Amino acid sequence: MNRPTRHVLPALFAALFASALCAAQAVRYDGHRVVRVEVRDAADAALMETISPDMWSHHAGPGPVDYRVSPEGLAALDASGLAYVTLIPDVQARIDQEREAVALAGERGFGFFDAYRTYAEFDAWANALAAAHPGLVSRFDAGLSLQGRSIFGVRLRPAGAPADRPSVLFNGCQHAREWISPMTVAFIADSFASGYGVDPRITAILDELDVDFIPIVNPDGYVHSWTSERLWRKNRRPNPGGSFGVDINRNWGYEWGGPGSSGTPSNDTYRGPAPFSEPETQVLSQYIASQTGLRAHIDFHSYSQLVLAPWGWTTAPAPDAPALNGLADAMADAIFGVHQEVYVAGPISTTPYLAVLTP
């Protein structure tokens, strides 16, 4: 019988919580808001780029686009005449509430999925999952980040299964601040491990496929988002001019440098000096290339409720668009069937931003 692992190592996790929370947050967001702006055209989008460096939506318009604005940015937004509504009136208050919840979970030794977890806790979780499910789960280290942290994962393959089976890869946290994404990847891995031999659907999948999970593609940025800057997005590459970071999600080689990325090092969507310039994208791309039986790759992000398919760089349909869009629709339908949550499905480049954020 496979043992559930959702409450493993509570004492260790509590200690790791405490060490992470001892680090002071160097950057605060007092008076910052998240606003939804009605962007009408390219001129509005360009104006908003000068008002806010931090766009939260997955596209820049036309239509409603969400931004984090500083008090100075809010004054500029008011002066611009653009229509907007406030979604989060005080970003720092939200962060403080989140920190309090994390601290409480650590003090009380809650289960792993009852609070956000640090990089060190995910590292311990991967080891614990493999130890709890011998013969099914194995840990692997795909490579190292810029600062030398392991980009690790777990593979689910039943004992005796052939090594050349088809496989599927789930990964999260290309963007450091999207803390829910590694939690989601880990939760799916944990559910599959605990459900093998119990849930016939999970058992059927794992009897046919290897399933790999890499929770944190950007460990340096993720650690920085815990210790220094909650809304940090990029990796920690030192850039010319004194800024830091490359947007890992925009450093991939295919159609590198296209729309939705920036050539300015200080920008949150900075694509880097060249395709695959960053160790993190090199590690993940090389891992993907090494999986000759790979059939699907799902990359988890947050903010918004979207299931997105290629392409992102052009509005032209992908060669297998009907299959991809059909799969995205099926995923959105399945989510609604279980949770009654609406996810909008479609190609990245043409899917409107319709998700609702509750303040």
pLDDT tens digits, residue range 60-116? 778 899 999 999 999 999 999 999 999 999 999 999 999 999 998 878 778 899 999
Question: CA 250, CA 170: separation in Å to the nearest integer?
Answer: 18
Nearest-CA neighbor of 344 among 332, 335, 336, 334? 332
State the DSSP H helix or E strand holding residue 241, giving kind and residue range, or none if neither: none
Amino acid 204 reads A
304: left (phi over 0), alpha (psi -120 to 50) or beta: left
- Two structure tokens written together for 299: 């990359």
Three-state SS letters, 33-90? EEEEEEECCHHHHHHHHHHCCEECCCCCCCEEEEEEECHHHHHHHHHHCCCEEEEECC
* H-only helix segments in 158-211: 180-195, 200-206
What's residue 7's pLDDT? 40
Of 112, 51, 96, 101, nearest in space to 77 by CA: 51
Decide: 50 and 4 in contact? Cβ < 8 Å. Answer: no
Per CATH, the number for 33-89 is 3.30.70.340
pLDDT, position 352:
64
pLDDT of residue 359: 29
pLDDT the model gives residue 18: 46
**pLDDT at position 25:** 54
Q: pLDDT tens digit string along 214-232? A: 999 999 999 999 999 999 9
Q: 199 in helix, strand or coil?
A: coil
Q: What is the largest CA-CA distance in the chain?
A: 67
d(CA 203, CA 200): 5
- CA within 13 Å, CB half, 357: 19
Give me the amino acid identity at 205.
I
Domain residues of the chain, as ranges?
33-89
Structural element, H or E, at residue 113: none
Give the residue carrying structure tokens 């991809």. 324
C-alpha–C-alpha distance, residues 27 and 211, integer Å: 38
Residue 119 CB coordination number (10 Å): 23
Give pLDDT tens digits along the chain (359 positions).
344 444 444 444 444 444 455 444 589 999 999 999 999 999 999 999 999 989 998 777 788 999 999 999 999 999 999 999 999 999 999 999 999 999 988 787 788 999 999 999 999 999 999 999 999 999 999 999 999 999 999 999 999 999 899 999 999 999 999 999 999 999 999 999 999 999 999 999 999 999 999 999 999 999 999 999 999 999 999 999 999 999 999 999 999 998 888 999 999 999 999 999 999 999 999 999 999 999 999 999 998 899 999 998 888 999 999 999 999 999 999 999 999 999 999 998 888 643 333 32
Q: What is the DSSP letter of 146?
A: T
